[in-house]
Every structure is written in structure tokens, then in C-alpha cells.
A and B are shown apart, each in its own frame.
Chain A
Amino acid sequence: MRALTDPILKVQNLTMRFGGLVAVNDLTFTAGRGDITALIGPNGAGKTTVFNCITGFYKPTTGRMALRHGSIDIDAHVERLTDTPNDHVTNAEGSLYLLERMPDFHVSARAKVARTFQNIRLFSGMTVLENLMVAQHNPLMVASNWTIGGLLGFAGFRKREKAAIETAKYWLEKTKLIDRADDPAGDLPYGDQRRLEIARAMCTEPVLLCLDEPAAGLNPRESLELNALLRSIRDDHGTSLLLIEHDMSVVMEISDHVVVLDYGTKISDGTPEQVKSDPKVIAAYLGAEDEAEVEQIEAEVGL
């Protein structure tokens, strides 16, 4: 767990209100670089809302989310950056981004945070390969001289496009989708669609990948393959992962760090082992009302 020694994302006092409903309440946590950080909690705990805040789809009511590239010291710079109107600062050591200040597409394009969605959002009428090409839109756009060079058929663009196809092929092979490359994404079975969404997100070359319930609806074999894929993304690509997952076997198996939410509030934070034995977590999942009941349940499950 590198959250303390080498953080990549620091979420501080994040609160999100929808009218009277407090979906996320004063949440503070840190995700370490090269870690798989799991965000768990019962249904409606506010996990997806946290993702939506991080990726810029919702503007949080209050709170700060600092993400860094390179080794820039977050604590040393974040206050100063907050006092400026800017959304990022860059120096020789790296860059620091304030995600809450960025529009959603900048979070992906500049801060390099990619995500998948709880209810899969593929371009279902486009082929699998096209899905991955869309993900490489920004570099390709530059290579096509904002369309003009591409329209005139310049060689530079054609070369860059070939490279983009190679990247796509790499991820298709990694997600075992290469044989379906020319099929419409909407025709794929559910498990394949989930993996395609991950491949598509990886094509944006993120430093932080946020996965919203990637194992939902997978069978046990697919689930195991997914574990291997996520580990490989972490180990071979140096991409840090933030993971929402209900399947505890997946969470306990692959995550380095677990944050538990209940009714929008963080109730536990630590290694999988620490969290597993935290009475508050057990209570939240089993629906206990107060301390006494928690103790009772603990006794029942033999803790």
C-alpha cells in the first residue's frame, strides 16, 4: 500500500449533494501510485458518485481532488495551486492537477484519468476496432493537422494512424478480443463488452484508471481472467487503478488498499485484511443499527 509514500490521487473533504441528499459526505482518502485501490460499500453508498466527481462529470459541492504526474510533491504545491485560478501546475518534477476544476474531457485528455461505466457505454454501432480508434482521438487529431492534413492525405497522418491501429491491436490481444475486431461492439457478449470498455479506456494511456464494477455479470472464469488483466495493467503499464467492486473475492484477491463507504461517509480505510476485520464494515454490510448489535453480529460470525 503506497498511499502514504507515493500518492497519485488525494481526495480531500469531498462532498456531493443532490438537493437534500448527501451522496458523498466529507470523504478523504489517498490512492497510491501502482496500487489497486478498491472503493467498496453497499448499494447507494455513493461510490459511482465519487467516480463521477473524480472524472469531472459532476462538480462536487465542496472538496479537492489533486492528481499528480511524476514526482511533484502534492502537499508542497497543492495549497498554492488552490489559491490560483489555474487547474494545474507543472514543474521539472511533474504536474499537479486539481480535478474538480477541470471539465470532464480535460480530466481524460490532460490529467490522464480514464474510466469505465457501471452500465456499459460502448459505441455499439461501431466496430470493436473503431471503438479503440475513437479512444485515441486526441493524438490522431493532432497528427491529422486538425483534419486538414488528413483530408489531403498527408503521410504523417497515415503513419500515425497505423501506429494507432497497432496500439489497438495490442489491447485487443491483451483482452482476447482480437478475433472480434471487425464486429460491431453491440454484438459482443456481455463479458467481452466489459473487457472492451477496459481496453478502450487503456487506449487513452491513462495514469489512473477508474473501473466501475468491472466484474459485475461475469462468470467465475471470466472473473479470474479479469483479475489477471487488471494486475497486468498495474504491473506492466504502471497505471494505477481505482476500482469499485461488489464481488468481495475480487476485491480481497487483487486490491492493495480498500476504502469503504457507507451512506456517503468513509467508515474504513486500509489493507484488505484490516478492512475485512473492521467491525464497522461488517455492520454496514449486514445492516446493523448500533454498536451493541455489531458486537452481537461479531459474536455470531465468530470474530
Chain B
Amino acid sequence: MEVFVQQLINGVTLGAVYGLIAIGYTMVFGIIGMVNFAHGDVFMISAFVALICFMAVTALAGMTGGAVFLALLVALIVSMIVTSLFSWTIERVAYRKLRGSFRLAPLISAIGMSILLMNFVQVAQGARNKPIPPIMRDTIRLFEKDGFVVAISYKQILIILVTALLLGIFWYVVQKTPLGRAQRACEQDQKMAALLGINVDRTIAVTFIMGAALAAVAGTMFLTYYGVVVFSDGFVPGVKAFTAAVLGGIGSLPGAVLGGMLIGLIETFWSAYFSIDYKDVAAFSILAIVLIFMPQGLLGKPEVEKV
């Protein structure tokens, strides 16, 4: 029971990170029908930007509690801006020209972009693990039984709160603003949307930016939570987040968050109760099983084959 509650807390934290990345996959797939393979690496870059900001601010302001909080805030905001810029550039340079052409071309371009970004970071920042000093180590003890302490750390509270807050804002933007309406129109039919005066290019660019901004939140949280990042960190979280998007039903925003939570929970419980070695195997197997037996996901619309 105690282990269960503790793992539940850990799983939800991890799930928040996956869910945030998954939204980027789901939105891009929804609007232009492509798997943005480089999104995992965009997430990795966001963690690096956050790392550099955090180090810069703490180098100037020191490591006191207030300074750390300020550093995290700056890291989050700057990372959201710079990562959005990366995502915008990627879409502009590598995808826009290929939109609507041969279906494999954007996918290959995206894979190339993923390799490019990963190796760019390796060359620019080195191949080693990049740790930050331990921060916010305090925890709140929830309860204790037979010597086993169930605790939630400030970090975890922060991650869950920030995620919830940003998801709320994001939800509002997508549901209630003209921008969100334009996005949904482009999802339905780009040509028609263009005829009705919607700037399709801009709408798609904004979609990439929104996805990247949320990935940057995830990246900053990831850095805070694990305290370390390395250039190859984009691939596995990226695939897991994609799994989350598929599990929730690709194209569905609540589905992405739900899927992220499920993947986070499954992964932590698998590690706790079975074998930590096989936790990635478990994630990949879930991906395969979901796609095979339930390709529309939990909240997605089933695809009908029209003859």
C-alpha cells in the first residue's frame, strides 16, 4: 500500500512530463498528419536551454532559496521562448516545403532533423552528462507505516502544479480563441480553411510553437526532477511521449495527457514491481500492443475505411 502510494506520486510526476511532450506530437499529427520525429530532440534542447539559463542565473545570484526559485522561473520562460524558436525554425526550414508532397519525405526529413539536433547538441555542449547541483531536496512526509515513509517532494508538487496550470491555459487557448478555431479548421480541411481566409502557414507554425513551448515546460521539469541531462535524452522520452499520444488517441489533446499519465504510471509501477531493466521494453511493447489492437487509442475517433 505504502509503496503503491509512493509510486503513484512518482508516476504522476513522470506522466506529467510525458503528457506535455505528447501534446506536441498529437497537435502536429492532427494538423498536418505527420509524426514530428524531431519533437523528442526539441524537448532535449529545451532541457539544455533550461540548464544553461539556470547555471547563468545561479552563477550571478548564488544558490540561495530565492535565487534558485528565480533561476528556475527564468529557465522556464527562456526555455519556452528559445525552444519555440527552434521548433518554428525546424518547421520553416525542414517541413514546410515538403508539406503535401510525397508522404515519406517529411518523415525522412524529420528523422534527419532529429539526428541533426542530437549531434548539434553533442558537438556544441559535449557528450557528457550535465548535472545541476541538487535543488529543492525537501519533501513533505505524507504518512509513515512500518518505517516506510511516503513522501512528496517540493519538486513533484511544483511539477504537477505547473503542468496543471499550463495545461489549463493551453486548453483555454485551443478551445476558446480564434487561434484554436483556425487550428481545428486546418485539421479538418486545409484547402477549405485557406479559402475561408485562414492563414494556414501561420496556423501550422503556431501549432509547432505551442507544442514546443509545452515541451520546454516538460524539459525544464525533467531537468529539475532528475537534475541531469545529456544530448541523447531526446529519443527515449520522445518515443514514450509518442506512445502516450497514440495510447490516448492521436489528435486528441485530453487523450495525450491521459496517455502520458498512463505511460508514466505503467513505467514506474513496472520498475517497482517487476524489473527496472525491462521498463523500456514494457513501454515499447505497450506502444505495439495499443497500435495493433486499438489504433484509434482511448479517446480517438475510429478511422473508417471508405471504399
Contact = CB atoms under 8 A, between A and B. Distances in A.
A263 interface: no
How many chain B residues sit at the interface, stated as a range, is under 10
A54 to B, nearest CB: 12
How many chain A residues sit at the interface, stated as a range, is under 10
A125 B305 CA distance: 22
Interface string B292-307: 0000000000001101
Contacts of A18: 304
Is the contact region of chain B dominated by helix, strand, or loop, or is it mixed?
Answer: loop
Interface string B32-46: 000000000000000
A109 to B, nearest CB: 18
Contacts of B304: 18
A60 to B, nearest CB: 14
B102 to A, nearest CB: 12
Interface of A: 18, 48, 52, 57-58, 117
Contacts of A52: 307
A18 B306 CA distance: 12
Q: List the 5 shortest-distance A-B pairs measured between CB atoms, nearest first.
A: A57-B307, A52-B307, A117-B307, A58-B307, A48-B307
Contacts of B307: 48, 52, 57-58, 117
Nearest to A57: B307
Nearest to B304: A18
Contacts, number: 7
A23 to B, nearest CB: 12
B199 to A, nearest CB: 31
A18 B305 CA distance: 12
A97 B304 CA distance: 27
Contacts of A48: 307
A58 B304 CA distance: 11
A52 B304 CA distance: 13
A265 B304 CA distance: 23
Nearest to A58: B307
A24 to B, nearest CB: 14
B121 to A, nearest CB: 40
A208 B304 CA distance: 27
Contacts of A58: 307
A223 to B, nearest CB: 25
Nearest to B307: A57
Interface in B268-307: 304-305, 307
Contacts of A117: 307
A58 B305 CA distance: 9
A72 B89 CA distance: 70
A52 B307 CA distance: 7
A117 B51 CA distance: 58
Contacts of A57: 305, 307
B286 to A, nearest CB: 29
B235 to A, nearest CB: 35
7 contacts: A18-B304, A48-B307, A52-B307, A57-B305, A57-B307, A58-B307, A117-B307
A52 B305 CA distance: 11
A20 to B, nearest CB: 14
B306 to A, nearest CB: 9
Nearest to A49: B307
A117 B307 CA distance: 8
Interface in B17-61: none
Interface string B211-250: 0000000000000000000000000000000000000000
A62 B304 CA distance: 19
A56 to B, nearest CB: 10
Contacts of B305: 57
B120 to A, nearest CB: 37
A262 B47 CA distance: 61
B17 to A, nearest CB: 37
Nearest to A52: B307
Nearest to A117: B307
A57 B307 CA distance: 7
Nearest to A55: B307
B296 to A, nearest CB: 14
A18 B302 CA distance: 12
B103 to A, nearest CB: 14
Nearest to A48: B307
Nearest to B305: A57
A48 B307 CA distance: 9
A57 B304 CA distance: 12
A48 B306 CA distance: 11
Interface in B172-186: none
A133 B304 CA distance: 30
B302 to A, nearest CB: 10
Nearest to A51: B307
